[in-house]
Amino acid sequence: MHENMKQEWASFDSGIDVSTAVELRIMETTDLHVHLYPYDYYADCPNPDLGLSRLAELIDIARQQVPNCLLFDNGDFLQGTPVGDFFAYDRGLREGDLHPVMAAMNTLRYDAITLGNHEFNYGLGFLEKSLMQAEFPVVSANILRQSAARIRDDQHFTTPYKLLRRKVTDRAGRAHDICIGVIGVAPPQITTWERQALLGQIQTRDMVDSVRAWVPEMREAGADIVVLLAHSGIGAIRHTENMENAVIPLAAIEGVDVVLSGHSHQVFPSRTFADIPGVDIARGTVCGKPTVMSGFFGSHLGLIDLSLIRSGGRWEMLDSAVSTRALRDAAQTLIPPAPQQRKVPLDSPKVRRIVASAHEAVLESIRQPIGRSTTAINSFFVYLGKSAATGLVAEAQRSFIVQKLAGSAHADLPVLSSVAPPKAGGLAGPRNFTNIASGVLTLRSLADLYVYPNRIAALRLTGRDILLWLERAASAYNRIMPGMGEQNLMDFRFAGYNFEVLYGLDYRIDLTAPARFEPDGTEISPDHARIRSVRWQGEPLDPDAEFIVCTNSFRAHGAGGFAGACPDAIVFEDAAITRDVLRDYVATQEAVSVCADMPFSFLPVPGASAVLRTGLAAHDHLDVIAKHQPELLGVDPKGFLRVKIAL
d(CA 337, CA 339): 6
How far from 585 is each of 401, 556, 582, CA to CA, in Å? 12, 22, 5
pLDDT-based confidence at 94, cuts 50/70/90? confident
3-state DSSP helix/strand/coil % of the chain, to nearest 5: 30, 30, 40
pLDDT-based confidence at 18, cuts 50/70/90? confident
pLDDT-based confidence at 6, cuts 50/70/90? very low
Type of residue numbered 241:
E
Using left for φ > 0, alpha for ψ between -120 and 50, and beta otherwise, residue 3 falls in alpha
Cβ count within 10 A of residue 113: 29
d(CA 154, CA 147): 5
d(CA 271, CA 259): 18
Q: What pairs with residue 300 in β-bridges?
A: 326
CB 448 within 8 A of CB 435: yes
**Which CATH number does the domain 23-363 belong to among 3.60.21.10, 1.10.760.10, 3.40.800.10, 3.40.50.300?**
3.60.21.10
Q: For residues 439-459, give the mean pLDDT.
A: 93
d(CA 32, CA 55): 10
Greatest mean pLDDT among 14-23, 193-202, 270-279 lies in: 270-279
Q: What is the pairing mode between strands 531-536 and 539-540?
A: antiparallel
Q: Which residues does 532 contact at the CB level (< 8 Å), separation at least 6?
A: 507, 508, 509, 510, 603
Q: What is the pairing mode between strands 300-311 and 289-294?
A: unpaired
SS (H, E, C) 31-42: CCCCCCCCEECC
**Phi and psi for 42 in degrees, rounded to 5?**
-75, -35
In what helix (H) or strand (E) does residue 395 lie, and over which residues does it extend? helix 388-405
CB 512 within 8 A of CB 479: yes
Q: Reduce the DSSP state of residue 157 to 3 states and report it.
A: coil
The predicted pLDDT at position 395 comes to 97
d(CA 171, CA 5): 13
Q: What pairs with residue 503 in β-bridges?
A: 417, 505
d(CA 198, CA 184): 20
Is residue 12's pLDDT more than 80?
A: no
pLDDT-based confidence at 349, cuts 50/70/90? low
Angle at 468 between CA 463 and CA 470, to 5 degrees: 95
d(CA 499, CA 600): 12
Higher-pLDDT residue of 135 and 338 is 135
Q: For residues 163-175, give the mean pLDDT.
A: 94
How far from 140 is each of 100, 112, 207, CA to CA, in Å? 22, 11, 10
CB 610 within 8 A of CB 625: no
The predicted pLDDT at position 199 comes to 87
**Phi and psi for 181 in degrees, rounded to 5?**
-90, 135
The predicted model scores a pTM of: 0.89
Is residue 120's pLDDT more than 70?
A: yes
Q: Reduce the DSSP state of residue 540 to 3 states and report it.
A: strand
CB 106 within 8 A of CB 52: no
Q: Reduce the DSSP state of residue 500 to 3 states and report it.
A: coil
pLDDT-based confidence at 353, cuts 50/70/90? confident
> What is the distance between the terminal CA atoms of the chain, rounded to a whole angstrom?
54
CB 387 within 8 A of CB 470: no
DSSP output for 41-81: TTTTEE-TT--HHHHHHHHHHHHHHSSEEEEEE-S--S-SS
How far from 355 is each of 103, 351, 362, CA to CA, in Å? 8, 6, 11
CB 447 within 8 A of CB 375: no
Is residue 345's pLDDT more than 70?
A: no
pLDDT-based confidence at 90, cuts 50/70/90? confident
Q: pLDDT for 372-403, tens place per residue?
A: 999 999 999 999 999 999 999 999 999 999 99
Q: pLDDT for 550-569, tens place per residue?
A: 999 999 999 899 999 999 99
The predicted pLDDT at position 347 comes to 38
pLDDT-based confidence at 428, cuts 50/70/90? confident
Please list the residue range(s) of the chain that carry CATH number 3.90.780.10: 368-482+494-606
Identify which of 28, 61, 107, 70 has the alpha carbon closest to the alpha carbon of residue 341.
61
d(CA 343, CA 62): 11
Burial of 277 (0-12, 13-18, 19+ CB in 10 A): exposed
What is the C-alpha R_g of the chain?
A: 25
Is residue 536's pLDDT more than 70?
A: yes
pLDDT-based confidence at 356, cuts 50/70/90? confident
Q: pLDDT for 183-204, tens place per residue?
A: 999 999 999 998 888 989 999 9
Is residue 13's pLDDT more than 50?
A: no
The predicted pLDDT at position 369 comes to 95
Q: What is the mean pLDDT of the chain?
A: 92
pLDDT-based confidence at 354, cuts 50/70/90? confident
User: Which CATH superfamily hosts domain 368-482+494-606?
Assistant: 5'-Nucleotidase, C-terminal domain (3.90.780.10)
Angle at 149 between CA 147 and CA 152, to 5 degrees: 70
Q: For residues 19-29, give the mean pLDDT.
A: 93
Is residue 335's pLDDT more than 70?
A: no
**Phi and psi for 46 in degrees, rounded to 5?**
-65, 150
Q: Which residues does 500 contact at the CB level (< 8 Å), separation at least 6?
A: 418, 419, 420, 469, 470, 472, 473, 551, 555, 560, 562
Share of the chain above pLDDT 90, in %: 84
Is residue 14's pLDDT more than 60?
A: no
Please list the residue range(s) of the chain that carry CATH number 3.60.21.10: 23-363
Is residue 137's pLDDT more than 90?
A: yes
pLDDT-based confidence at 348, cuts 50/70/90? low
Identify which of 519, 471, 511 has the alpha carbon closest to the alpha carbon of residue 491.
519
Q: pLDDT for 316-334, tens place per residue?
A: 999 999 999 999 886 444 4
Task: Calculate helix-pair angle for 124-131, 100-107, nearest 10 degrees.
Answer: 30
The predicted pLDDT at position 1 comes to 41
